């Protein structure tokens, strides 16, 4: 809802120029409009996915195990 005009805003995201990277199709052009007016546009030359992620990041804890808390970096 648009608080000023008390009607609904229309938001549209358009994606184009898909290219494959690491087996994933990803748009290299992303364009957003609100009520027909451009509000955001992004162009990519290349993308990389999941760099430096370890498998333990995605493993579930054992049932009944205490939650693991990571220390904050200061």
What are the tens digits of pLDDT across the range 20-38?
Answer: 988 999 999 999 999 999 9
pLDDT at 71: 67
Domain boundaries, the chain: 1-45
Chain segment 47-73, per-residue pLDDT in tens: 988 888 888 888 888 887 776 666 666
- If we measure between CA atoms, which residue out of 36, 31, 28, 30 comes closest to residue 9? 36
Q: What share of the chain is helix, strand, coil (3-state, %, to 5)?
A: 5, 40, 55
- pTM given for the model: 0.58
For every residue of 38-49, DSSP letters joined together read EEEEEE-S----
pLDDT of residue 49: 87
Each residue's pLDDT tens digit, 3-12: 787 788 899 9
CA distance 74 to 19: 39
């Amino acid at each position: 809802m648009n608080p000023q005009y008390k009607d609904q805003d229309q938001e549209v995201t358009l994606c184009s120029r898909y290219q494959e990277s690491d087996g994933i199709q990803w748009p290299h052009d992303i364009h957003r409009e609100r009520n027909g007016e451009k509000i955001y546009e992004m162009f990519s030359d290349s993308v990389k996915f999941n760099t430096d992620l370890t498998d333990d990041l995605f493993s579930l804890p054992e049932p009944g195990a205490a939650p693991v808390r990571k220390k904050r970096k200061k």
